[in-house]
Structure formats: C-alpha cells, structure tokens
Structure 1
Amino acid sequence: MRARVQEIVFDCADPAVLVRFWAGLLGGDPVDRSPDWSYVDPPEFVRIAFQRVPEGKAVKNRVHLDLEVPDPARAAEEALSWGAEPVGRLVTDEQGSFQVVRDPEGNEFCFVSG
C-alpha cells in the first residue's frame, strides 16, 4: 500500500488567523469550515489545514516546511507584515541561503534559496 499526503495539519489556538497568514505566503483562498478548522489550497501544493487545540505550542517543531523563494531575507521581511518573526540570522553557504521564521503562533518554517 502507498499513501498520498492529503493535507498537512497544524494544531493551533486560532485557525482563522493562521489560515490567512499561510494563504498570504502560499496563495489560495482561506476557508473557515468552522471556528475550530480552517484550510487553504495553495496552487500546486497540498492543502494546509489548521485545527484548534486547547494546549499551546511548547517546543520547537519536529517537522517544518521549507518554502523556496528567490531571496530568503526579502521574503522574511515581507512576512513580518503578516505577523511572522525571524529566528536568528540569514544563513548562506555553498548550497544557498535560508532564513528560519515563525508564524503568528510560533510554528517554525524556512525560506530557502539555492
């Protein structure tokens, strides 16, 4: 049996806020199915969903998304206007560059190039 990824789900406190943040980054229209569940279908990507949970985020993500962009520093700066927060500094090596960023609820992801 082979499985196919249907969607990636983030646990969160406010699905309506996060779906709009991620729709801004990835494209697509935010959908609020209920106060506890929102999602976006970004173009050429799997659905990203947001599920309300009672507990807050306590530690670093064990899995994160790497989002390919032409300029990670510029992408991180633009994401600030949607509520993102950069983590550390831009890292550049022979493979390219990346910038770790947190979404409005603290979920880490990276803008990458190279």
Structure 2
Amino acid sequence: MTRDVQITFDCADPAALAAFWAEVLGYELQPPPEGFDTWEAALAAFGVPQSEWNARSAIVAEGAPRVFFQRVPEGKTAKNRMHLDVRVAPGLTGDERMQTLQAEASRLEALSATVAYRVEPDGRMEQGFITMLDPEGNELCLD
C-alpha cells in the first residue's frame, strides 16, 4: 500500500521560502480555504493573531507531494540529512547537461539561491550535478 507524502521544511520565513520553492518546483502556493479570497482574510476570520500569519505556508501541484513550510525558532546549524534533487536535465549528458544545469542554477541565483559546488561529469559513473543552497541554507541538487 502506498501512502501520500508531505515534505516539510523547518524555516524562519515560511512565506518567502514557499515562494522560492514554488518557483523551483513549478508548484503554486496552496490556495486559501473555500469561501476566502486570501489567506489573510481566512486567518483573520479564524482569529489567528497577525503575528502568526507567517507561521506556516504550503505549495501544491496536482499529483505531487504537498510541500509544507513551518516557522521554527532555531536556525539551520548543520548539513541537511536529506535534500531534494531537482531533475532539470534527465537524459542529458556531457556539455549539454552541464549547460542546462548551469542555466537553472543562474535562474535560482536570481531568486536568492547560492551555488555551493559543482561536480563535473567524469566519463565513467558521474554524470555531473550542481549543489545549491536555498535562501535559508537548505541544500538542493540540480540533477
């Protein structure tokens, strides 16, 4: 039996990180509950204090896992034990692959990501990838 999965990020700014990852993955921000035009209107109606309006956010895409962002008080202190590989160059090899990965890395840098390092193809097993950090320092690989 398979189960639905949600991917959860602990972070300092859920709204900003959700917007970043929506761009990375081609997702959209989760729409507000039925009957509300905005999340702000829903949260106000639910009596959530305005100071808590950015405590959580989520992004969604049909047929894909929901990605949830929750504010936590502590910052990131070590390398992630898990990260997402964003498959932007499946089936590509050599220069074409690395050019495609670099183009995506440049797009994400414009969204406040940073390149951590780049691994070149070795002609044997390694196809090449670029490891990046999201705006809060979480690792992701462009593969």
State the TM bucket, normalised to the shorter chain: 0.7 to 0.9
Partners of 1:8 and 1:48 within 8 A in 2: yes
Percent identity over paired residues: 40
1:68-79 correspondence runs (5 A): 68-70=87-89, 71-79=100-108
Root-mean-square deviation (CA, aligned residues, Å) is 1.8
C-alpha change, 1:16 and 1:96, in structure 2 (3 Å) is same
Of the candidates 62, 83, 96, which is equivalent to residue 127 of structure 2? 96
Alignment partner of 1:42 is 2:41: no
1:37 Cα deviation from its structure 2 partner: 0.7
Partner of 1:61: 80
Structure 1, unaligned stretches of length 5 or more? none
1:3 Cα deviation from its structure 2 partner: 5.8
Q: Which whole-Å CA distance do the structure 2 matches of 1:51 and 1:29 have between them?
A: 17
C-alpha change, 1:24 and 1:77, in structure 2 (3 Å) is same
Which amino acid in the other structure matches residue 82 of structure 1?
Answer: L
Q: Which moved more, 1:35-44 or 1:56-65?
A: 35-44
The alignment of Structure 1 onto Structure 2 pairs a total of residues equal to 111
1:28 Cα deviation from its structure 2 partner: 2.2
Larger helix fraction of residues = 2
Deviation track 1:2-30 (CA, whole Å, cap 9, x = no partner) reads 56242100000000000000000111222
Q: Which has the larger radius of gyration?
A: 2
Q: Which whole-Å CA distance do the structure 2 matches of 1:50 and 1:22 have between them?
A: 10
Q: Which whole-Å CA distance do the structure 1 matches of 2:71 and 2:120 have between them?
A: 33
Structure 2 length normalisation: TM-score? 0.70
Q: Which moved more, 1:71-80 or 1:29-38?
A: 29-38
Structure 2, unaligned stretches of length 5 or more? 31-38, 44-52, 90-99
Q: Which whole-Å CA distance do the structure 2 matches of 1:57 and 1:3 have between them?
A: 31
Q: Which moved more, 1:37-46 or 1:53-62?
A: 37-46
Q: Which whole-Å CA distance do the structure 1 matches of 2:20 and 2:82 have between them?
A: 19
Q: Which whole-Å CA distance do the structure 2 matches of 1:13 and 1:59 have between them?
A: 15
